[in-house]
Amino acid sequence: MYRQMYDAANSFASNKKVTMKRFKNKVVFITGGSRGIGAGIARRMAAEGADVVITYVNAAGQAQQVTDDIKKAGQQALAIPVDNASPDAITAAIEKAMEVFGRIDILVNNAGIYIAKPLAEYTLQDIDSTMAVNVRAVFLASQKAAQYMQSGGRIITIGSNMAERVTFATGTLYAMSKSALIGLTKGLARDLGAQGITVNLVQPGPTDTDMNPANAPHADMLRSAMAIPHYGKPADIAEIVAYLASEESGFMTGAALTIDGGFSI
């Protein structure tokens, strides 16, 4: 009997997940949405009824595949080429999304870069590029999108568990940029709370993408540091983002949620 109840509950949860349209009539803007975690978030949000705008830098073919998948799911999609290192490009892309869709309800700051070097080898260009993409672009996109958001708006940033724990050398610059997002998230949450806009941070650990594949040379080292010794999937991160974008998370703001298989404990 208990097995039947368990199977029925799982079946209900699965069907509910497929049929829920929590984001019907909403528009989500995702930076870096052509591949990896960003693409997983884009597809998940579309599956729950959102129209989706993604940005990309070089992966035009992958961006096209993501928008095609979104349209097959019955939603509208737009891909905009954007270099997040350019202050004007990211704000222009948000304005373009407003022209096309007339609204932005959810912003997902996902785009980021990783430059790994021994400390002595970092250049000023490395520092400026990393901070421009990983921090400044997040600030500018949030500032611009918030101008158009109504009460109930959501800003969600994808950071990294390296903001909390750095277990190997050559990650100093990246960790610095991602730790800055904690303060940025808390400040934005204070600034926008009275408008009914929540701001939260998701800090993934090792996630199986083309930038950090589960079969990479360093993957076993990362798995050895985890309580759950396997890489996450983009869908795992998308699950948390979908929650933070939903009405159910309306009382959560300024939070940093780490999802890393216990890497940081």
- Positions marked active-site: 174
Which residues are within 8 A (CB) of 70 and not within 5 positions of it... i.e. 6 or more apart? 42, 43, 46, 52, 76, 77
Measure CA 131 to chain center: 17
How, if at all, do strands 27-30 and 106-109 pair? parallel
The DSSP code sequence of 52-108 is EEEEESS-HHHHHHHHHHHHHTT--EEEEE--TT-HHHHHHHHHHHHHHHS---EEE
